[in-house]
Chains A and B, each alone.
Chain A
Amino acid sequence: ETGVTQSPTHLIKTRGQQVTLRCSSQSGHNTVSWYQQALGQGPQFIFQYYREEENGRGNFPPRFSGLQFPNYSSELNVNALELDDSALYLCASSPGVLVLRETQYFGPGTRLLVL
């Protein structure tokens, strides 16, 4: 039990739609990172937020965007969904601004299927 929760657990959308995934971090964790894990692959870094500001981004297009709120919750928004967006989306929280590598706590993920 990491104290990080995600909702919903599963979601089905159609191509072109928009989706919002939610994450609730541990209290006191100011950093949240989002990862995409496609089938048979490892998690790939999407972006990271620290105190409501994006401070790092992986190789994902702008249609992937996020928000972080003062109450330790955050969102991942994906616009214009494509079939390849089908994946498990993981959020991970950590206390500080620099993610001390071993202190990332992952949620269970949201599995998104795009038809």
Chain B
Amino acid sequence: DQQVKQNSPSLSVQEGRISILNCDYTNSMFDYFLWYKKYPAEGPTFLISISSIKDKNEDGRFTVFLNKSAKHLSLHIVPSQPGDSAVYFCAASPARASGGYQKVTFGTGTKLQVIP
């Protein structure tokens, strides 16, 4: 049961253009969403997050949009740079901790290649 879905396993974008990575979720208890970036031979690193009370969060070249009614979020990277080439994971977490911890559920990832 994949509660967080990234339907595009890969994406290629020209340097300087916009990269749009999409993510869908099914669990209506999720209220906090994160994007992680992963380079080969490294662990995921946190990129940007958004709470369900917002529909947009921006951090430099990275913007995350949330459409709660559609259970859909997207990550926009503008402009894309070759160093952005990595695997991007969408992740989600419920509002309240259960048993003292807040479980983060990850999607399957999208491999972004930015072509110089």
A, B bound:
yes
State which of A11-19, A36-44, A65-73, A74-82 sits at the interface with chain B. A36-44
In the complex, how many angstroms separate the beta carbon of B52 from the nearest chain A beta carbon? 12
Taking CB atoms and an 8 Å cut-off, the chain B residues in 89-103 that contact chain A are: 89, 91, 93, 97-103
Give chain B nearest CB distance to A54 CB in angstroms. Answer: 10
Q: Which of B13-21, B40-48, B63-71 contacts A (4 or more CB under 8 A)?
A: B40-48
A49 to chain B, nearest CB (A): 10
Q: Render B98-114 as a binary contact track against A, CB cut-off 8 A, 1 for contact.
A: 11111111111100000
On chain B, the number of residues with a Cβ less than 8 Å from chain A's Cβ atoms is: 28
B54 to chain A, nearest CB (A): 14
Alpha-carbon distance between A33 and B34 when the two chains are bound, in angstroms: 17
Chain A interface residue bracket vs B = 20 to 34
Chain A nearest CB: distance from B12 CB in Å?
A: 18
Is B75 an interface residue, CB under 8 A from the partner?
no
Q: A2 touching B32 by the CB < 8 A rule? A: no
Sample of 6 A–B contacts (CB below 8 Å): A35-B106, A40-B108, A44-B106, A50-B101, A55-B101, A107-B43
